Every structure is written in C-alpha cells, then in structure tokens.
Amino acid sequence: MSAGDLRKRYEAAFMPNYGVPPVVLTSGHGCVVWDADGNEYLDLIAGIAVSSLGHAHEELGEAVANQVMSLAHTSNLFINEQEVVLAEKLRELLGGEGRVFLANSGTEANECALKLAIKYGKANERTYFVAAENGFHGRSMGALSLTGKRSIREPFGPFAIDVRFVPYGDAEALRAAVTDECAAVFLEPAQGEAGVVPPPDGYFAAVRQICDATGTLFVADEIQSAIGRTGAWFAHQHEGVRPDILTLAKGLGGGLPIGACVGFGPAGELFAKGDHGTTFGGNPVAAAAALAVLWTIEKENLLDNVAAVGTLLKDGLAAVEHPLLTGVRGRGLWLAAVLTPGAAPAVEAAAREAGFLVNAVQPDAIRIAPPLILTPQQARSFVDAFPAILDAAAGAMKPNPEAEPPKEN
C-alpha cells in the first residue's frame, strides 16, 4: 500500500482533529525510522518523548512478548506481579517513599492527581486551584480545566472547578495567588507543549516553600520530563525538592500506554476504597514494558548518556548562526530550538526533507526529544545539517515574486 493511499484511507476513517500527518511510518530500529516510501529519518521526536529506548529495542520487545504469552490482562480485581514490582521500583527511584496509582496515560494520571486534590480541598475547606498560563496537563475535562493554553481550553468551558492561572516562573505571582483556601498548585518542571520553556533557577524550591507555608498541595506534572528525559530520573530532582503528588507517563512505557500518579506522605493516603479506579491501569504487559525501560536505563547508564549527548546537541545548535535561530533552551534530551516568529513549520518541513524528524511545537519553536539512546554521532549529524535546514526553511518562507498579490477587501 502506497503512502498516498494510506493517507487517503486515514482521512476517510478518522475524525479530523489531527488533520492528515505528512509521513506514513512503517518500521524503525534504534533512533532511525523508515516511511512507506523507503525514506530514512533520524527520529528526534520519539513519539513525543515516549520511545525512551528507541525502536525495536530487544529487551523491551522480549519483556512485552513474554508477558503477553503469560498473562496479558487481569483488571483491578486481581493482583499481578508486574504491577507490584513496578510500583516498588518507582518508589525506590523516588527515595523509597510514595503510594502509586497506575493508569493508562498522562491525562489519566493528572485526573487522578486532581481527584486527590479535590478530596483534600473538600476535607479542608479549600475551594480553588492554581496552575500556570500556557501550561498543559491533558485534554480530558478535568485535566483540561488545569491547562492554561486558552486556544484548547476555552472552547470546552465552563469547567466544574475554579482554577486561577499565573505567569509561569513568576514566584511572586504564585505567592500572591496561593492562600490557605487553595487546594493545590499544578505545575510542570518546564512547559513542554509551550515550547520546552524552563522556569528560572530556584522556582520549584520557591513553589515548595509557598505550598508549605499555606498548606497547599504541590502537584508536579512530569508527564514529559521524567524517566531520564532531562538527565535525572525526575526533573524535580534537579532542584532537590519533592512535590506532594507526582504524575508520570510517556517515557515510562517506552511506547506502550501507561501512566502513574504517586502521592507522598498524607497525599498518598487520601483515597479510600472505591474512590478511584481503572480497568486497564496496572496492565501486566504495560508494567512489564515499563520495568524493561527502567532496568535498561540503569544497566546502560542512559542518564549519563542523556546528559552528555544533550549537552553536545544543545551547545552545537546554539553555536549555529542564522537569522531564523534565536536560541536553544531545555535540559538533557528535551530541548527546543527557538526561532523567529512563524518559522517553526517551515523548519520542521525542511528537517524532514533532510532526513530528520522534529516537532514544530509552537510557531517559534521546534521540540527535540529523541530516544535516550541517541548517540553522539547521531546528534552531530543533526547539528551539522542544521544550517542547511535553516537555509531551506528560509527559502521556503520567502514570498514568491511571481505570485498574484492579495486582493484588497
């Protein structure tokens, strides 16, 4: 089946919320993928920071295949060993503490966190929540109510809870917004969907102090930033603070759908029997995949690789001088090349033509979030190609002098 035929079938069969993606991928190995026309690409998206071990990783494949042939599903009515071992492993990586709820996605992990915060708020006469402008926590109605991106939030309001939005990274604005009537603060360690926007140094420490002073729960949404993405197991560890509730997903499953919500101290014991549940959460196949991811990251010292290759990639891109490039931000293998306004779609397309998959996450930023196994040689290949990619994008953006001028209304 040709790529063109598959795109037509896709358009006819699916709801139009994604449009029609430009590439039909058929296979991958490591950090490389191939499309239906035989073109090869270096994958610098990793399924939106999901494919931690890249494609066709042997240990991940064996873990999934073996588990499917043993026990594929149990529901929450029974215990399976893989979910218990995974919860214990997450607790170990988090310092030996926390109570875990396993879900199927980041949105569901955030829904769990929100329900915990609502229960805490009702028990303590706290009536509102605080989140950040331009933040992203998911698209289901609860998670969307916390999402500060107006274009995707406002068409589906009003929402059932009172959420007050503050500028991201502004500790004083947060301090003014959080009182003893606030149930919880929801924040990302860096705003992924806003373009990998980091806060000032010390921001998370300030958030922790503000929440402690007011008795407010601090929820860290690490859906994108955790599981080694920034060179630490969890991004909040860079600042030496711990939230009350932590949400995880994406890279945890290495490609299989899984999410987790971890509550620390009293926040881990807020739910009573029957307060929350899921049919597929804790699925043994997804849990086996997550364990393979975590064990492989440890065995192959991938946190060190993320730090080293991330620095190479960031410094290499930052050294490029081009009118379209205004900077590079982020940490580890979670970066954004910051561009002139409106340039990102053209840069994404030019990169694809050159054999590199990147994501125009904002009109002025492309996100770079490759598998954690990216090699120095692969990173250098993108750095070396980047000037020509920017040139091609600039050429595509130039107005065609032969084009008909726009008609005046």
Query: Residues within the annotated binding site for pyridoxal 5'-phosphate?
Result: 106-107, 136, 221-224, 279
If one counts every other C-beta atom within 10 angstroms of the C-beta of residue 407, the result is: 5
**How far from the centroid of its chain's Cα atoms is residue 174's Cα?**
23
Contact assessment for residue 292 and residue 59, using Cβ atoms and an 8 Å cutoff: yes
Distance in angstroms (rounded) separating the CA atoms of residues 302 and 292? 13
3-class SS of residue 277: coil
Catalytic-residue membership of 250? yes
Burial class (CB in 10 A: 0-12, 13-18, 19+), 231: buried
Measuring CA to CA, which residue among 367, 357, 366 is closest to residue 31?
357
Measuring CA to CA, which residue among 219, 248, 225 is closest to residue 105?
248
If one counts every other C-beta atom within 10 angstroms of the C-beta of residue 21, the result is: 9
* Dihedral sign from CA coordinates of 77, 280, 225, 30: positive
Q: Residue written as tokens 């290499």?
A: 316
- Residue tagged active-site, from 186, 234, 250, 356: 250
Burial class (CB in 10 A: 0-12, 13-18, 19+), 232: buried
Contact assessment for residue 396 and residue 346, using Cβ atoms and an 8 Å cutoff: yes
Q: What are phi and psi of 323, to 5 degrees?
A: -60, -25
The binding site for N(2)-acetyl-L-ornithine consists of: 139, 278
The binding site consists of: 106-107, 136, 139, 221-224, 278-279
- Segments of 223-375 assigned E as strands: 245-248, 259-263, 325-331, 334-339, 356-357, 359-362, 365-368
Contacts of 311 (CB under 8 A, 6+ apart): none
Contact assessment for residue 164 and residue 133, using Cβ atoms and an 8 Å cutoff: no
Catalytic-residue membership of 221? yes
Instruction: Put the strands of the sheet holding 365-368 in their side by side order.
Output: 325-331, 334-339, 365-368, 359-362
- Residue tagged active-site, from 43, 218, 221, 382: 221
| DSSP classification of residue 370 | -
- Residue tagged active-site, from 43, 101, 129, 136: 136
Catalytic residues: 136, 221, 250
